[in-house]
Amino acid sequence: MSHPATRPFVACALVALGLSTPPARALAQSDPPALSAPRVAAQLGAGVALMPIGFVAGGKLTEWTVERLGVDDPRASRLALGGAWTGAALATAAGPALVGARGPGRGHYLAALGGAVAGGLGSALLVRLNDRTGDDARPPCRLRCTIAAVAVFTLPSLGATVAYDLSRR
């Protein structure tokens, strides 16, 4: 039996998996030409660059909207955080879709969005695994934490890029 706090993560993972799976008709058609490494790197970089912009814009827009609707401050803050993560996912998926649309074949934005959500869930898991709070003494975390930090910021874009490119036809 899963813990109640993990149920939203499981539900999001299942939705992300469904959105990032290419349709059967796309698999039946011939594969598009392979993408070059610089194009894939540009897709990844665009997603990483757009993620914080989407986070801030989504949070501010949500906060502004719910405050205008008269929502009290603690609840408005929670809603703004949800809006920020939603904006981050939408913007992260836009990077690979915008760059990928200018090459051979076309992918699906929804696939990129599903990949961004799946990568975001992977990032959240990494954050939980590397949580250094608590009273127990631990040795300093150097290389492992550096690699984990880079992965936390790149996994959503990596998921979006892979899902978008797999959905190309």
As to burial, measured by CB atoms within 10 angstroms (0-12 exposed, 13-18 middle, 19+ buried), residue 110 is middle
- Give me the pLDDT at residue 92, please: 97
Give this prediction's pTM: 0.75
Domain ranges for the chain, please list them.
35-132+140-166
pLDDT 10s digits, 97-134: 999 888 777 889 999 999 999 999 999 999 888 887 77
Distance, CA of 136 to CA of 114 (rounded, Å): 37
- 155: its two tokens: 């996994």
CA 66, 71, 77, 79 torsion-angle sign? negative
Distance, CA of 2 to CA of 149 (rounded, Å): 27
If one counts every other C-beta atom within 10 angstroms of the C-beta of residue 147, the result is: 12
CA distances from 93 to 7, 57, 60, 134, 150 (A): 24, 15, 19, 35, 18
38, pLDDT greater than 80: yes
